[in-house]
Structure 1
Amino acid sequence: MTEEEFEAFVDAAHDELHDKQQALADRHGIGKFARWWFDQNIGRLQFFDADDRLALEAEVIEAGSYSPRSNTWMWAWANPSLLAPLRERASRLRALEELTGYEIFGRDHAFEIEDEAMAWELAAIAVKHLGAMGCYRAPSSKQDGPRTFFALMGLHRRP
């Protein structure tokens, strides 16, 4: 991709993610649940209501994580703290390097980025590439702790 084509690709990914995020909030209440939990063993993101009942479960591919403390991003496929099957699912994102011609998509270590807005851009590109329904940015329990970005691949309401 030329730089101009890449910028158009990023803009399209950003606009698509905005629309997808709005749909997720409107139709499924993403962003309004009392708490969330990611179970690495089953590779599912779970959302709980105010009564601590499982309300929604999501099939996900972890895209990556952003550290506000160091302004760094790490692709999930390169993250040794993830179980191997989860890294393997995320490895589809490595194709972005060849698709775009930008080596940022093939870095196998944490690397510096501008800010969390750029982390959202990377997540938007991942969502577009994966054909995901949208993204969930899992907050950290610490103010400057890492934020994990999950591409939502499927949603299941729980009774």
Structure 2
Amino acid sequence: MDTGWYSAWRDEAFDQLDAKNMRLENDFRLGHWARYDYDLTDGKLRFSEDGVIKVVADIQIAGTTSAKAGNWRWGWADSNVPTQIISDAKLARSFGELSGLDELTQAFVTDTDDVEALGWGLTAVMVRICDALGAYRCPRSEGGGLYLTIKTIDWAS
């Protein structure tokens, strides 16, 4: 299968994600709130200030990076994640299967040089495939991050 198109397509996906995230920052101040909390059971990401929720987003899990292991793990490969918030990750895997793209079909993708770039790159691919509004990265205590895609977002009522 010819996958020569994928590198440029992935770069375009990253550029698209960058533009989408800038819009989310401009419209909803993402990245500027004092606190964020995510709930994997109800698939919500909430941003708050002074104990008051300001913005609420519906999310899907793209995956996680580990600085220690130097890898990415797809959300669909984590048995601890509720199935309702990995449906988009499963769509990305299906796209990879149809297109012959190993990095979308392997549970773990290794990049010991820059796992953050790897995480953002694969999240951008998922955002493009699933037409998400953008993405958010939650840092992990051991290094790396949890990458979430944003499906809907609005001001809290």
TM-score normalised to the size of structure 1?
A: 0.89
Q: Is the contact between residue 65 and residue 71 of structure 2 (CA under 8 Å) also seen in structure 1? A: yes
Q: Flag as ranges the 4+ runs of structure 1 deviating above 4 A.
A: none
Q: Is the contact between residue 77 and residue 86 of structure 1 (CA under 8 Å) also seen in structure 2? A: no
Q: Which among 131, 151, 154 is matched to residue 153 of structure 1? A: 151
Query: Equivalent residue of 2:149, what SS?
Result: strand
**Partner deviation per Cα, 1:82-118 (whole Å, 9 max, x = no partner):** 123323453222123134311221113x331242112
- The answer for unaligned runs of 5 or more in structure 2 is none
Partner of 1:16: 16
Q: What CA distance in whole angstroms lies between the structure 1 residues aligned with 2:46 and 2:33?
A: 10
Amino acid paired to 1:150: L
Identity of aligned residues (%): 27
Partner of 1:107: 106
**Partner deviation per Cα, 1:31-51 (whole Å, 9 max, x = no partner):** 1111111112211111112x1
1:112-151 matches, cutoff 5 A = 112-113=110-111, 114-115=113-114, 116-140=116-140, 142=141, 144-151=142-149
1:49-128 matches, cutoff 5 A = 49=49, 51-108=50-107, 110-113=108-111, 114-115=113-114, 116-128=116-128
Amino acid paired to 2:147: F
**Partner deviation per Cα, 1:103-134 (whole Å, 9 max, x = no partner):** 221113x3312421121111111111110111
1:36 aligns with 2:39: no
Q: What CA distance in whole angstroms lies between the structure 1 residues aligned with 2:59 and 2:86?
A: 12
Q: What CA distance in whole angstroms lies between the structure 2 residues aligned with 1:76 and 1:66?
A: 11
RMSD, matched Cα? 1.7
Q: What CA distance in whole angstroms lies between the structure 2 residues aligned with 1:94 and 1:135?
A: 18
**Partner deviation per Cα, 1:9-52 (whole Å, 9 max, x = no partner):** 01210110111111111111111111111112211111112x12
Q: Which moved more, 1:98-107 or 1:83-92?
A: 83-92
- The answer for unaligned runs of 5 or more in structure 1 is none
TM-score normalised to the size of structure 2?
A: 0.90
Between the two proteins, the alignment pairs up a number of residues equal to 155
